Amino acid sequence: MLDNIYKYMPLRKEFFDNFLIRGSQKYALNDPFELRPSSNKHAKLLTKNSYFDFAVISLSETNNNLLMWSHYAAQHKGIILELDLKHQLFENYSTFPATKYDEELDADVLDNEEIKRRAEIKAGKVQRVRYNTLRPSYTKFENILEHFLIKSDEWIYEKEHRIILPLVTADRIIVHVDFPAFTRQFLIQNNTLLQT
């Protein structure tokens, strides 16, 4: 079991005031094949499983990898955070309850399907990425977690671990103007803070 884990990142002076860490959504992940179907015929399935509802915080077992410093820490000009996995932050995470509007009751009610989905991805838990030469199947899988934690073996040097979080728990969401229009529209429809 790891005691510490590391986050490579560019230096943001405001980080020391707000301690916000980036959680990347599907289209911001650096592996172009990650969380993407091998053909358009599975696009409907992916929308159904709501990959867009979650963000990934990428962490590493190592703090001395030159490629990581180059790729994720502003070409060696950034910083690395050392996180203590025994800290209560990692023990006490609880995701916001999932609700939906029930017209008959004229009230928000717990959405059991969303609660199940969040339980399947183990939201808020540090989980090891598995590396494989094969991409996960988009038609046969036990749960959505498989897709969030499998990367091509070309990325094995990262020794990555991930925290997967529902976007609704984010303190701030920033969407780049180049992101696909349907992602921006989804966030606007769901009253998400949108910054460009």
In a domain, 114, yes or no: yes
Question: Per the structure, how many domains does the chain have?
Answer: 1
In a domain, 142, yes or no: yes
Phi and psi (nearest 5°) for 71? -75, -35
Q: For the residues of the chain, what is the DSSP string, one character each?
A: --SEEEEEE---TTHHHH-----B-GGG-SSTTTT--SSGGGHHHHHHTTGGGEEEEEEES-S--HHHHHHHTTTTTSEEEEEETTSHHHHS--PPPPEEEETTTTEEEE-HHHHHHHHHTTTT-EEE-EEESSPPPSSS-SSTHHHHSEEEGGGGGG-EEEEEEEGGG-S-----TTS-HHHHHHHHHTT-----
Residue 89 CB partners (closer than 8 Å, separation 6+): none
Cβ–Cβ under 8 Å, residues 21 and 57: yes
In a domain, 66, yes or no: yes
Q: Which domain holds residue 43?
A: 4-189
In a domain, 166, yes or no: yes
Name beta bridge partners: 4: 84
In a domain, 195, yes or no: no
Cα of 180 vs its chain's centroid, Å? 18
In a domain, 119, yes or no: yes
Task: Name the band, by pLDDT with cuts 50, 70 and 90, for residue 6.
Answer: very high
In a domain, 196, yes or no: no
- Structure confidence by residue, pLDDT tens digits, 26-59: 778 888 777 765 555 555 555 454 677 888 999 9
Is pLDDT at 1 greater than 60 in this prediction?
yes
Dist. CA 118–CA 95, nearest whole Å: 8
Phi and psi (nearest 5°) for 29? -75, 145
In a domain, 194, yes or no: no
> What are the C-alpha distances in Å from 1 to residues 67, 81, 156, 192?
24, 19, 19, 36
pTM of the model: 0.78
- Structure confidence by residue, pLDDT tens digits, 138-150: 666 666 777 888 8
Task: Name the band, by pLDDT with cuts 50, 70 and 90, for residue 8.
Answer: very high
Dist. CA 89–CA 133, nearest whole Å: 34
